[in-house]
Amino acid sequence: MIQKNSFTLCLVLATFYLAAQPKVEFKSRSVDFGNIVEGSISIHRFHYQNIGTQPFVISHVSVTCGCTAPQWSKSELLPGDTASVYIEFDSKNKMGPVHKGVNLMTNCEEPLIGLLIYANIIPDSNFIPLVDSVALYPLRLVKQKSFSQIGIPMATLAKKGFKGNSKDAETLFKYILKQNDNTLLYDHVWVTSENNLLMANLIDKNLQTPTVHLIQTEMLSKKRLKYWISATKAH
């Protein structure tokens, strides 16, 4: 009987403790900035409310990238009150789809709260690229403001036996990057297509030589290109 009463008391105390904790509700835990120009800064506020019965506190905030700068109130948020976490996202030296995280350490029933930032970073259209179409012929080297592009003419791929469109070529190139046992290139080279060119985009200039070598050996060789086309179909 004593054991039963003790268990009931513990259960009641645990229930009271959970009910007495602060509880926070965010309007949204993610933001998608969509297409933004490289080098621009985007801002957002994550609004939230303390819907619990005790004061809410954010004790610490960490980010997954130095490109994201958060600001938040370190004061207690009373039940029923609202506040926000302010973030600035700097897109400098980044390109293509990105996602970043902001982690909040709190005193509520959810001690670690994650906020997500999405964006697709595009080149500055006002910047005129420099094009080297001689040294790497038939490839084209395009030097943007903060990254480089290695262009493969779709006509060249067609001469090598490729019969798909630009999207098919993107899929093929991504597959080659992934299967070529070169995680460095796969993680840091993103593939796009424009103006009848298949584009390998990279920020790190040190990756230019190995990327060009990969293209020349695996995509500009009829034998190797045929192999990869068959491999993607089998896959």
Across 138-172, b (16+ Cβ under 10 Å) vs e yields: ebbbbebebbbbbbbbbebbeebebeeebebbbeb
Inside any domain, residue 11: no
Tell me which of 122, 156, 173 is where a domain ends. 122
Whether residue 108 is found in the same domain as residue 142: no
Based on the fold, state whether residues 150 and 72 are members of the same structural domain.
Answer: no
Which residue, of 60, 95, 122, is where some domain finishes?
122
Q: Is residue 20 part of a domain?
A: no
Q: What is the pLDDT of residue 132?
A: 61
Same domain membership, residue 60 and residue 95: yes
164 and 224 inside one domain: yes
Do 39 and 92 lie in one domain? The reply is yes
Q: How far apart are CA 31 and CA 88, in angstroms?
A: 12
Tell me, what's the pLDDT at 182? Answer: 65
Q: What is the pLDDT along the chain (235 residues), one digit of tens a residue?
A: 545 454 444 444 444 444 567 899 999 999 999 988 888 889 999 999 999 999 999 999 999 888 888 999 989 999 999 999 999 999 887 878 899 999 999 999 889 999 999 998 887 766 555 556 566 788 888 877 677 889 899 999 999 999 999 999 999 999 998 885 666 788 888 888 877 889 998 888 888 889 999 999 999 999 999 999 998 887 7
Domain containing 148: what range? Answer: 130-234
Q: Are residues 136 and 164 in the same domain?
A: yes
CA nearest neighbour of 122 among 91, 153, 101 = 91
Identify whether residues 117 and 162 lie together within a single domain. Answer: no
Q: What Å distances lie between residue 19 and 52, 167, 183, 231, CA to CA?
A: 8, 54, 48, 57
Residue 15 inside a domain? The answer is no
Total domains in the chain come to 2
Entry pTM: 0.55
Q: Does 230 lie in the same domain as 206?
A: yes
d(CA 124, CA 122): 7
Would you say residue 12 lies in a domain? no
**Domain contains 145:** yes
